[in-house]
């Protein structure tokens, strides 16, 4: 592979690993210096490889150069020499006074785990946590994050910088969390990763490659948690199962022109059986102990959506899981989704009664659902609901789906 193709891939996979190790070494106050050193490493790679060709082991080359650049920076920078290098040396064993930039697999994993818990600090808003996670944990650039949020790069740049400053103000330590910190913070961490995945899976961005990348990164971070015995918890496995089940239908969710394909119209041959099997494995692992989280229930719902036969048993199970999810953590969208399952079990009339109680008059999904439920009962009412949904819809994909429904009715 040519270095012009290889470097962007290495940047995505290795940038955040080296940044995590250096941030853990330096501390949160010097996060920008860690980023500068790693960026400079990739710049050197771009320049050197263009002249000398790609080295035999590109990753090892990057790690060696990053180590050298870090040591050189420590030597020539007075502030580092007095404030940071001294502290690092103080914490190293007496028989090894040389500062060690440890880029072993184990230290990378430990550093990334520490960074996950640092980034997912409740001192920042959820929006800021996701942006920072994309930047520091996943190696996404400002432009890519702006694309994901349908925002401009200036807004994202300010959001990420404010989030970093907040962590500095709070003097958050980048260290492996102890058992009490894990217990206290794991829900925030899982929620950030869940929202990161959702940003990809339900993204209103038209960049389908980016959407898949967001989902892949969320799954990678969850797997990091699973690989550590202290964070390999039932709810972590449930979240992984949920993401595997959803991702298994990724290829079937969009058409050749990027249009969204609804569940009932999906080509089941495009469902990824390997991911379904992995989801089943992680769902089984999540059943140990007495924990029942929203991720367990949502994973159960997602599992039944990979069950290809449209049977009453399938929809009865989905409805029961939605009933439990509403009790555990109510949200209007969950209640809205539940009414679709209700229509499959008890018919459109009862589902309409339940849906209309929600009165979500600013939500186009609400009117789209009512349009679908009324389609076989009252075409005129169905059309009115679809037209209201069309006026409220914001994305091209949503508008296209609603227009298809209107044309079918007409």
Instruction: Please state the domain extents for the chain.
Output: 1-103, 104-232, 360-410
Give per-residue pLDDT as tens, 36-64. 999 999 999 999 999 999 999 999 999 99
Q: What is this structure's pTM?
A: 0.85
Rounded to an integer, what distance in angstroms lies between the CA atom of residue 23 and that of residue 33? 9
| Helices (H) then strands (E): counts for the chain | 21, 0
pLDDT score recorded for residue 301: 97
What confidence score (pLDDT) does residue 210 get? 56
Distance, CA of 266 to CA of 251 (rounded, Å):
9
Between CA 204 and CA 374 the distance in angstroms is 27
pLDDT band (50, 70, 90) for residue 400:
confident
Query: What is the mean predicted confidence (pLDDT) over 201-205?
Result: 69
Residue 93 clears pLDDT 60, i.e. is over it: no
Tell me, what's the pLDDT at 166?
94
The residue-averaged pLDDT of 105-112 equals 92
207-222 pLDDT tens trace: 665 578 889 989 999 9
Choose between 235 and 7: higher pLDDT.
235
Average pLDDT, the chain: 88
Residue 268: DSSP 8-state? G
Cβ neighbours of residue 92 closer than 8 Å, sequence gap 6 or more? 98, 99, 100
Most confident of 283-292, 297-306, 398-407: 297-306
Tell me the pLDDT tens digit for each residue of 289-330.
Answer: 888 999 999 999 999 999 888 888 999 999 999 999 999 999
- What's the pLDDT at 96? 39
Each residue's pLDDT tens digit, 359-370: 999 999 999 999
Res 127: pLDDT = 87
Using pLDDT thresholds of 50, 70 and 90, give the confidence band for residue 97. Answer: very low
Residue 83 has pLDDT above 70, yes or no: no
Contact 249, 305 (CB under 8 A): yes
- Res 90 pLDDT > 50: no
């Amino acid at each position: 592979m040519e270095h012009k193709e290889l470097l962007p891939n290495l940047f995505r996979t290795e940038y955040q690993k080296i940044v995590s190790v250096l941030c853990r070494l330096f501390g949160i106050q010097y996060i920008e210096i860690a980023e500068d050193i790693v960026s400079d490493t990739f710049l050197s790679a771009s320049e050197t490889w263009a002249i000398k060709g790609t080295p035999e082991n590109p990753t090892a080359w990057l790690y060696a150069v990053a180590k050298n650049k870090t040591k050189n920076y420590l030597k020539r920078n007075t502030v580092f020499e007095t404030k940071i290098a001294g502290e690092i040396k103080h914490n190293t064993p007496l028989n090894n006074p040389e500062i060690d930039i440890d880029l072993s697999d184990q230290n990378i994993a430990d550093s990334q785990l520490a960074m996950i818990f640092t980034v997912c600090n409740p001192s920042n808003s959820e929006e800021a946590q996701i942006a920072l996670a994309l930047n520091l944990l996943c190696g996404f650039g400002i432009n890519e994050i702006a694309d994901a949020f349908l925002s401009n790069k200036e807004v994202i740049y300010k959001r990420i910088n404010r989030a970093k400053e907040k962590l500095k103000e709070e003097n958050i330590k980048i260290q492996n969390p102890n058992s009490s910190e894990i217990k206290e913070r794991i829900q925030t961490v899982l929620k950030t990763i869940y929202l990161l995945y959702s940003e990809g899976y339900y993204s209103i961005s038209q960049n389908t490659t980016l959407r898949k990348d967001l989902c892949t990164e969320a799954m990678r971070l969850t797997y990091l948690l699973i690989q550590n015995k202290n964070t390999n918890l039932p709810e972590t496995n449930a979240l992984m199962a949920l993401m595997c089940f959803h991702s298994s239908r990724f290829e079937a969710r969009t058409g050749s022109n990027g249009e969204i394909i609804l569940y009932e119209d999906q080509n089941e041959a495009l469902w990824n059986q390997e991911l379904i099997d992995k989801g089943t494995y992680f769902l089984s692992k999540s059943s140990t102990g007495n924990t029942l989280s929203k991720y367990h229930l949502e994973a159960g719902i997602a599992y039944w959506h990979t069950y290809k036969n449209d049977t009453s048993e399938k929809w009865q199970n989905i409805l029961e899981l939605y009933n439990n999810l509403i009790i555990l953590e109510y949200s209007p969208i969950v209640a809205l989704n539940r009414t679709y399952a209700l229509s499959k079990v008890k018919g459109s009339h009862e589902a309409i009664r339940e849906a209309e109680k929600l009165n979500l008059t600013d939500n186009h999904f609400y009117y789209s659902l009512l349009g679908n439920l009324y389609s076989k009962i009252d075409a005129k009412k169905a059309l009115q609901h679809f037209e209201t949904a069309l006026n409220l819809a914001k994305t091209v994909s949503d508008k296209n789906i609603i227009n298809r429904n209107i044309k079918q009715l007409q």
